Structure 1
Amino acid sequence: MDDEILTVAQAAAYLKVSDKTVLKWIKNDKLVASLVGRIYRIKLSDINDYLAANSNGKKGVKSK
């Protein structure tokens, strides 16, 4: 479900990067997030949009 809301730690685990990397992407306006109190929340759909926007456009490894 794309309406799922993730914490920075959950988003980092999903993307297999560090929390600091996710925070850097948010602060550099590369990844959309909402500040709830003092904690960022990220929609799974926004993470998937980020991945699509930063894709190299290849469909994957072709079998020979």
Structure 2
Amino acid sequence: MEMMGLERLVVNLKSKLRSLRIKKLYDKIEKSESMRVEIKSRKAQKLIAETLKFADSPRNKSYAF
């Protein structure tokens, strides 16, 4: 009989913990147009840096004669 009470207690605790995690502590901020442009700019800069790093590596040198 003790197991039934213990199991019920565990189930109740799990459900309470799940409900606490789901609650939002803040309102989601919608991205403005300037924020979107900034994000795209950062992604573009990162892609350019990766491309230049790859192009400058000695293993990838190809010479056109």
TM-score (norm. length: structure 1): 0.22
Bigger fraction of residues in strand? 1
Bigger fraction of residues in helix? 2
* Larger Rg computed on CA atoms: 2
Larger RCO: Structure 1 or Structure 2 (Cα < 8 Å, ≥ 6 residues apart)? 1
TM-score (norm. length: structure 2): 0.22
